[in-house]
Structure 1
């Protein structure tokens, strides 16, 4: 049985041989200011190598939640000595802020 991706979602594409794919997700509850995030690391065949999840309190915005989770994800990759990683998720603004910081002055801190 083949699972079709939901409308508007891109189908998972494997990374190049020798690379891994880290899919990251984030959520936040406005009223409680709680955020949660998780990541799953897969090889080029789609086999799960490892995964983690984390909760954070007192998170002011979804952008703050994304920043905290992507930072934690990248620190996790480093601490586990995982290299050659493609990171995927809804982080376009953060990645653009790294690539073009002059356009995103609010992220300079």
Structure 2
């Protein structure tokens, strides 16, 4: 588990923490993912965006997940969907990043989460499809693009699952700023 961010010196000489998206190592793909869960009666919007070490967007996807009893359950289902998608796209070196800390903690320590055993076993089984798979806890500020895509699934009525090359046109400017490190 890895938290992302970097330290910079503020004008007053103090160290300030500036959070921004961090790329994966060369040869790997980083998938930022998020599920937008509202309540146990409604669909969840799920999304992921895959970028290389230069910040170039390779793919992004959106999905409406059937109602889930909790945010945690929805996040685990979202991770399974991302792993299945990455496997089908033959991505062999993957970093999966989520801003939902408990989900990454459960994947790292599944015995402490017996209620979710079935979902965690599915994730564990999917791990074998990759040459390298890492899970990262991402700060919310570093995961805003995946969050915005997930929100758009429900807000814009995009209940049809989709996979697209590149990033969504309405986010190109933000994606370019993140790729160049010029977020601020």
- Equivalent in 75, 81, 90 of residue 66 of structure 1: 75
Q: Does 1:48 align with 2:65?
A: no
> Distance in 1 between the 2:26 and 2:98 partners?
20
Distance 1:9 1:51, change over 3 A: farther
How does the TM-score come out when normalised to structure 1?
0.82
1:55-94 Cα offsets, whole Å, 9 max, x none, are 0222221112101111000000001111111111124323
Cα deviation, residue 47, structure 1: 0.6
Q: How many residues align?
A: 102
Q: Which has the higher helix share?
A: 2
Query: Structure 1 stretches of 5 or more lacking a match?
Result: 1-7
How does the TM-score come out when normalised to structure 2?
0.51
Q: Does 1:23 align with 2:23?
A: no
Cα deviation, residue 102, structure 1: 2.2
Greater relative contact order, per chain length (Cα 8 Å cut-off, separation 6+): 2
Match of 2:43 in 1: 34
Query: Structure 2 stretches of 5 or more lacking a match?
Result: 1-16, 119-184
**Contact 2:40–2:70 (CA under 8 A) maintained in structure 1:** no
